[in-house]
Structure 1
Amino acid sequence: MKKHFIFYFLSAVLSINCFSQDYSLIPYRKGKLWGYADSTKRLVIQPKYVFSELFINGFARVKSDSGYGFINKKGFEIIKCEYDLAFEFNNGFARVSKQWKYGFINNRGVLITGIKYDEADDFKEGIARVILNKKIGYIDTTGKEIVSCMYDNIDLLGNYEYFKVWIGNKIGLLDRNGNVIVDCIYDVIWDFNENFASVKRNNFYGFINKKGKEVINCRYEYAEDFRGGLAKVKFNSRYGYINLHGEDVIKSIYDDGDSFSEGLALVKLNDKYGFINNSGVMVVDNIYDDGGFFINGIVNVKKGNLWGLVDKKGNVVVDFQYDKIILDKNMITVIKNNKRGIIDKSGKILVPLIYDYDRGDYTNGTYFNFINGYAIVRKNNKYGFINEKGGEICDLIYDEVRPFKNGFAIVGKLITPKEVKETKFNYGFINRSGKQIADCKYYAAYDFIENRALVGNTYSNNNFLDTNGREISKDFYEWAEGFKNGFAKFKQNNKYGFIDKSGKKVISAQYESVDDFKKNYAIVYYNFQSCYIDKKGRLFFEE
């Protein structure tokens, strides 16, 4: 069990910072001890460790009987093997642990903090989160607690510019150096926008500036962010807008309102919607039953049960004829009689309204949204794709489709054999021209990675397809994973090995477990002991 733990621990840490790894020295096991050899298996650092790992940025983590440490390429212990745990260096620092307490060392092996924290995170942007006695703080790269461990929760605002801190249910703000800007007196503090943040205290909202001063008193029942110099507020159950000085530039007379977009804001007055400018002038009459936000000079509005489009002067640019209009920066989607299409801002139909509309569609937001140049559409309960010009690239014949990725899309057809009660699909692939390169015959299919796609005829009968849809091997595998760095792991007869992109078994299935190749080397478990192999299958060990 212990040996298995060491193997999986090694596998996990080798996935970190793989692009900075140094492969001139390879961990080499001789008997039960580890050292380092060159690519010819000539020992350079004599085996004396319980295990050793690949060099990263000139350092390698090793473990002796007395604990974890780090060595350089000359074999010198730059960080003594004395820690119960030692994590990879991150931004010049590594977390170390003794007796379930954590601290940090720099790349000279100097402890910058005491080993005293109950938890610690890696450094990011020059700071690291630490926890002591269930209280949260932050340290800088000198080890100084710039935020003392006294808070129940901490969030970072902006570009690591502020700490939002909690004591109990009350919130305050600290600057990047840990100086108190705002004591923990607020119930809510939102992010800064236009140099002001909305805050809530005693059930009323106001605003603070970046110095923590409450520049607009907490007297509103509700307040949103400033946008374009104005913020929506609620006062005496009515909505209006204030400026950065807290002045009521638009009186609180409205039933409801939205934030400004392109200089106009949707407001509700006497149960009808219209649009005001930043002076409070109703420039689009409040004659509508609903509305959205202006995008590219137009907005979707509802009259009765139908939607249309108007411009900033209130001119109707698309008549009220649709059951719904979805407006975004790149596309205007329209729905009518449960059919969906696309129009331009003049109302010209770009994609005819022939596609099914279903709010509960299984595609989780990918349906009728262009992703990598293609959108999933459905007609008569069958799926396919259209391109950005509205053309169908394939017949709509599929019961399930997934978005294009790396030039190909997975498509599926429903199978309902009598002996199977639950819904099941068989999967294949199409390319960007809509051509089906692989028939829907696979039990499972996964996206192309490195121009190869993993497929399965059954749960334990796997293969790979090339970009022409051909199976790359005549053999099938009990288990396999996608290609990484030109190799894929596979399992046969309960043993693991590697294939290349041609399907050739470059390393036969003979290991109890294997990890991915990182550049030129992979860690494997052979005869119940871990060691490294190269891409030719050479084992870096001797008994």
Structure 2
Amino acid sequence: MKKGILFLILLTSINSYCQNFNIPYRKGNLWGFADKNGKVIISPKYDSVDSRMENFRWKVYKNHKVGIINTAGEERLAVLYDSIEGNPVHSRYNEFYLYNEGKMGYADLNGKIILPLKYYHIEKTRDVNFNLDALFFLVKTNAQDNYCLIDKEEAVLLSGIEEFESDHRGFYKFKINSKWGVYSVPEKKWIIPAVYDTFKRFELEGQQPKKEFENIHHYAVKNKAFYLFSIEYLMIPSKLKKLSDFFELKKDSNRNVMEYMVHDDRGVEGHYESVCGEKFQEGNRYETNGIDWIDIKTIWIKKEGKLYGMVFSNGRTNIDYPAEFEDIQLLKSNYQNYYYKDFAMVKKHDKWAIYSINERKTIGPYEYDSFDFHIKYTDYLVLKKENQMGLFQIYGYRNREKPVFIAPEYDALKGYELLKSLDYNYDLFEVFYFSKKGKICPVGRNGISYYED
């Protein structure tokens, strides 16, 4: 049993180590992709790349055109199109709408052209099987045309469609010759003939169906008479004359007030607090709590001459830190009454450094002019040095890795993204997009720079 557990742990560790990512990589003014360790895997040759993927496909751009590449960098769709729009079919497959010079086409995941670029508008129909075996499309060649229903060979199954509305399992409401009916696209036949003046979902704003009509999903009107239909489009007789006769005012059941709580965007997560100089108080206790909310500890500040130190308690023993700092700033949550237990900011020779309380040492040299919590990304400190900025994360992502530390050598932080791994485990990797001298500079949570100048 122990051997089995050990094997599982080793397998999990190997899988985590082997997971890889396609991370945008810039060389000069051209873009490609690198792996997590910064090794270039797709040579920079594009004007721009899209970091977001759809089923291991990425958009790439050159000369104001767009194409699609796969994980290996192969162009599944050449960089020839004005625009490409992804059409997710399910979680492991998607297709693409293609646009060029005012015309539309359609391609599959591997870049095979299903419909050529000759249509004014294309909409792929939907059914319960994702249309993986039989593909059907609603198309029009010119703006003034009606829609036609065609298959992947472009054979016309139905024409003269003035309007349409998708329902479930491949059922479509079609309007032909000013009359509505219901058509089953997979079966290629009418379920309800197009003879009705209107055909709509059974609903009325602000009201709910009366009990005897709870199973009604659609209604139609013909010659001012109402016709009711179930979800499977079975007709249910009725003699009522007005839509309001089928409905009544909504009645809410009692609910716990907590169900109505709104989770707001809290903004800045924390702040820093000086505990030295005028703020110093002998014997003051500062209660701390980490991300696990279990191991509560306490910090005392001591003073020897003009310098300050810390005494750290885990509830069983006290650990005495030397008095060597000109100033100490403890980091505190804005929303819980505790101080962060792992890190503090300390000052020496008029410069700041990050101090690891657990390791009893600074992380890097004393070199920062100032610091502050980032206004948007919670738990991140902005480190400033000579008008340049860097980042430090108080806790690692999901508490599994070391905190992010990016040295201050950038003008600004433009954005932040979680990239998915190149497998269906969809592990996540943080990439930060800084600007430097007018250029975008991607940097990973591991500190690796994905650019060259």
Q: Is the 8 A contact 1:496 1:513 kept in 2?
A: no
Residues 231-276 of structure 1, C-alpha deviation per residue, up to 9 Å, x if partnerless? x78xxxxxxxxxxxxxxxxxxxxxxxx78xxxxxxxxxxxxxxxxx
- For the pair 1:468 / 2:363, whether they are aligned, the reply is no
Structure 1, unmatched stretches of 5+, are: 1-21, 225-231, 234-257, 260-291, 294-325, 332-368, 376-401, 409-462
Q: In structure 1, what residue type is equivalent to 2:38?
A: K
- For the pair 1:403 / 2:403, whether they are aligned, the reply is no
Pick one of 513, 525, 533 that aligns with 2:414.
513
Structure-1 residue corresponding to 2:393: 500
Structure-2 residue corresponding to 1:355: none
Structure-2 residue corresponding to 1:221: 241
Pick one of 184, 189, 199 that aligns with 1:189.
199
- For the pair 1:60 / 2:80, whether they are aligned, the reply is no
Paired with 1:497 and 1:141, the residues of 2 have a C-alpha distance of 55
Count how many residue pairs are aligned between Structure 1 and Structure 2.
300
Residues 58-99 of structure 1, C-alpha deviation per residue, up to 9 Å, x if partnerless? 433222338322233433323222212223462331222111
Q: In structure 1, what residue type is equivalent to 2:44?
A: P
Question: How many percent of aligned residue pairs carry the same amino acid?
Answer: 16
Structure-1 residue corresponding to 2:83: 85
Paired with 1:493 and 1:182, the residues of 2 have a C-alpha distance of 73
Q: Secondary structure at the match of 2:33?
A: strand
- For the pair 1:540 / 2:450, whether they are aligned, the reply is yes
Q: Is the 8 A contact 1:480 1:488 kept in 2?
A: no
Higher share in helix: 2
Structure-2 residue corresponding to 1:163: 172
Paired with 2:22 and 2:83, the residues of 1 have a C-alpha distance of 23
Structure 1 residue 145, shift from structure 2 partner: 7.8
Structure-2 residue corresponding to 1:112: 114
Structure-1 residue corresponding to 2:15: none
Structure 1 residue 41, shift from structure 2 partner: 2.7
Structure 1 residue 112, shift from structure 2 partner: 0.9
Q: Is the 8 A contact 2:76 2:110 kept in 1?
A: yes
Q: Is the 8 A contact 1:191 1:198 kept in 2?
A: yes
TM-score after normalising by structure 2 = 0.51
Structure-2 residue corresponding to 1:349: none
Residues 313-358 of structure 1, C-alpha deviation per residue, up to 9 Å, x if partnerless? xxxxxxxxxxxxx762xx3xxxxxxxxxxxxxxxxxxxxxxxxxxx
Q: Where do residues 32-431 of structure 1 align in structure 2 (5 Å cutoff)?
A: 32-54=29-51, 57-65=55-63, 67-88=65-86, 90-91=88-89, 92-120=94-122, 125=127, 126=130, 133=143, 142=152, 150-157=160-167, 159-166=168-175, 170-177=179-186, 179-191=189-201, 197-207=218-228, 216=237, 220-222=240-242, 328=253, 331=254, 369-371=255-257, 374=258, 403=261, 405=263
Structure 2, unmatched stretches of 5+, are: 1-18, 132-136, 203-213, 267-330, 346-370, 397-402, 420-427
Structure 1 residue 106, shift from structure 2 partner: 0.9
Paired with 2:372 and 2:101, the residues of 1 have a C-alpha distance of 48
Residues 396-452 of structure 1, C-alpha deviation per residue, up to 9 Å, x if partnerless? xxxxxx72649x9xxxxxxxxxxxxxxxxxxxxxxxxxxxxxxxxxxxxxxxxxxxx
Structure 1 residue 201, shift from structure 2 partner: 1.3
Paired with 1:495 and 1:134, the residues of 2 have a C-alpha distance of 57
Q: Is the 8 A contact 2:61 2:79 kept in 1?
A: yes
Structure-1 residue corresponding to 2:376: 481
Structure 1 residue 50, shift from structure 2 partner: 1.7
Structure 1 residue 110, shift from structure 2 partner: 0.7
Paired with 2:115 and 2:189, the residues of 1 have a C-alpha distance of 21
Q: Is the 8 A contact 1:119 1:130 kept in 2?
A: yes
